Structure 1
């Protein structure tokens, strides 16, 4: 509120200074015009006195005017009108910009042509200076407004970043307490699996053990979102990894009656396979959840292709549902009831940690998530 008052005061002072300058400029112009016209009036009085003396003494007014014009800087031409006849005074050179005055001295009428070039030239300079002043002031005002806008935008961004940091800090603390309890439960499950392994070595026990390990690792990573991800990149056939994750959802795909289109170009990337599994699971799961809310026909496509120095992965569904994209990848901003808003945030976090990028868009009725990952030093195979 105080900054707005200072801003209002600044522009008020600026406006007052501008109006003051314009008023001074107007007064200066009027003073100059007054001075010029007073000079002309003085010149007219002198000419009138000279002509009057000439006429009274019976002299030739034409010759008198011709001699006067030779010494005058203002009088450039004259004409004498007598009995309807006009006599041009010798030496008359009527300028294009002139001021005409009439003197009556019975029986003569004199037309006097004064040079207006100086008058009009000075007026022109006045207007040029005014135009330049206005231009410079508008440029200065524009620059000032731009600087103020940049300043307040930076302050707003800084305030938003601080608010977001505080929000993440408080939510992270709440999540951390919940994760602690979940970790304890996972430890109990892990101990139970260990005891079961002594009695049986079925494939289901191995799967359960692996999932507990993955979930424990995931909880460690999300316990503090401010920490950088620890990647363990290895040479990975990305097309095989995508097919593997899609296979995990085969029953769900069949239950929903989803038509899948898979086109994956073979390529090897240097990625952390566990992290990329998290990315692909999130995107495919989101697509299937969106399709579950959409009427048939339900379609999903998974494309993978090499584009320059990147491998492009596209996960798209025909549900055509996409919330506000500015909030889509922010943590704890879930559009789902009961969601924590960490899925897409982790997708973005993992992809960017690999030097890639992710974006979401609506395209011809499809919701499309596009990931671009660097190929590194590996070639297509």
Structure 2
């Protein structure tokens, strides 16, 4: 907002200066015409007084003067309580009136200044138009400046995230090869020693090795963009297949599960999209670990030109807005790559993912175009 203060102040000062100048111009014009009327009235009075002193007819003199005047359109005079119209007068209530007294007469002069009113009206229209277009211009300018800084901030954030990933990749690139070699050695040892060790501890060791291997693979994938192999897939059966992998786990953890999915053929990479759904379902199950109410839902339906998949858990909270950033995790021992990879996968499909809380549900919403194409923000 502070960045918008300077241009907004400049526009406000400019607009105020224009309005003030128009107001002063209007006042000066009015004063100028009033001065002309006073001068004209003074001349008419001199003519009348001179005519009376010379013994002439003041009405005839006034009629003659009026015929040659561009401003004076009519006149009346009062004599002994009677008001008489000077011959040749054009009298209108819209005309400006000015009176003067020359004994025994009281003259009233009528000046046509309709063009002055027209000019004032024109200036008023100009002022209103100027006010409207200035507001419009100011609003558009402020909006453009706001959008400029918004785009600039987004660009800077993306640039910083990219630089951060590049820095991280420089470090992990040198580690991956060595870690992979060590994993291969460990797997070989586990295989050879399987017969002589306690199976429970051996299984735990195997799980840790697999976990580390997955971390290495996921980390290695960050160095390159996701490539997808599209083919027509019925999202209904794809979601059902993913759900089947979690049926035993859901029963073990006493999680009530509900699914409601509409059939729809989409052009997508079934393996990578399955991976995305697996990460979201696992995330939902883990979020319900310490929750009293344990419910998980998967909904799928068409929304306009897009197909929306909702993965909802009754946990009802989001730990942070940074969920989709790499290496960010709120779980103990988590790598912080699951949701980041989910975001990369859906964006590679031309779609979008978002997370929010509504009515006590934590909701992950995935949008994918029914027909291949980008979602416009």
**TM-score over 0.5 for the pair:** yes
Shift of 1:183: 2.3
- Which whole-Å deviations, capped at 9, do the CAs of 1:300-340 have from their partners, x for residues lacking one? 3345678898776543333333344x533222232334433
Task: Please give the secondary structure, in 2, of the residue aligned with 1:328.
Answer: coil
Task: Please give the secondary structure, in 2, of the residue aligned with 1:223.
Answer: helix
Residue 104 of structure 2 corresponds to 107
Give TM-score, length-normalised by structure 1: 0.76
Residue 330 of structure 1 corresponds to 325
Shift of 1:50: 1.7
Task: Please give the secondary structure, in 2, of the residue aligned with 1:316.
Answer: strand
Residue 137 of structure 1 corresponds to 134
Task: Please give the secondary structure, in 2, of the residue aligned with 1:40.
Answer: helix
- Which whole-Å deviations, capped at 9, do the CAs of 1:103-150 have from their partners, x for residues lacking one? 211111111122221332232233333333444433333333233223
Cα distance in 2 between the residues matched to 1:288 and 1:266 = 25
Residue of structure 2 aligned with 1:350, choices 339, 345, 349 = 345
Shift of 1:23: 4.9
Residue 366 of structure 1 corresponds to 361
Does residue 288 of structure 2 align to residue 299 of structure 1?
no
Task: Please give the secondary structure, in 2, of the residue aligned with 1:97.
Answer: coil
- Which whole-Å deviations, capped at 9, do the CAs of 1:171-206 have from their partners, x for residues lacking one? 44455566556423421233336657999xxxxx9x
Alignment of 1:202-351 (within 5 A): 216=213, 219-231=216-228, 242=239, 245-262=242-259, 272=269, 274-296=271-293, 298-303=294-299, 313-324=309-320, 326-351=321-346
Alignment of 1:46-65 (within 5 A): 46-65=43-62
* 8 Å CA contact 2:11, 2:138 repeated in 1: no
Residue of structure 2 aligned with 1:42, choices 39, 43, 60 = 39
Does residue 129 of structure 2 align to residue 120 of structure 1?
no
- Which whole-Å deviations, capped at 9, do the CAs of 1:207-248 have from their partners, x for residues lacking one? x99997997577335325251124456787766665555454
**Do the aligned partners of residues 272 and 191 (structure 1) sit closer, same or farther apart at CA in structure 2, a change above 3 Å counting?**
farther
Task: Please give the secondary structure, in 2, of the residue aligned with 1:86.
Answer: strand
* 8 Å CA contact 2:218, 2:337 repeated in 1: no
Residue 202 of structure 1 corresponds to none
Give TM-score, length-normalised by structure 2: 0.77
**Do the aligned partners of residues 190 and 264 (structure 1) sit closer, same or farther apart at CA in structure 2, a change above 3 Å counting?**
farther
Shift of 1:157: 1.9
Does residue 89 of structure 2 align to residue 89 of structure 1?
no
**Do the aligned partners of residues 290 and 114 (structure 1) sit closer, same or farther apart at CA in structure 2, a change above 3 Å counting?**
same
**Do the aligned partners of residues 304 and 114 (structure 1) sit closer, same or farther apart at CA in structure 2, a change above 3 Å counting?**
closer
Task: Please give the secondary structure, in 1, of the residue aligned with 2:29.
Answer: helix
Cα distance in 2 between the residues matched to 1:372 and 1:34 = 69
Cα distance in 2 between the residues matched to 1:244 and 1:6 = 52
**Do the aligned partners of residues 210 and 276 (structure 1) sit closer, same or farther apart at CA in structure 2, a change above 3 Å counting?**
farther
* 8 Å CA contact 2:78, 2:84 repeated in 1: yes
* 8 Å CA contact 1:76, 1:95 repeated in 2: no
Cα distance in 2 between the residues matched to 1:276 and 1:132 = 57
Task: Please give the secondary structure, in 2, of the residue aligned with 1:292.
Answer: coil
Q: Which runs of 5+ in 2 are unaligned?
A: 197-201, 373-377
Task: Please give the secondary structure, in 1, of the residue aligned with 2:88.
Answer: coil
- How many residue pairs match? The answer is 365
Cα distance in 2 between the residues matched to 1:141 and 1:259 = 55
Shift of 1:45: 2.3
* 8 Å CA contact 1:259, 1:300 repeated in 2: yes
Shift of 1:294: 0.7
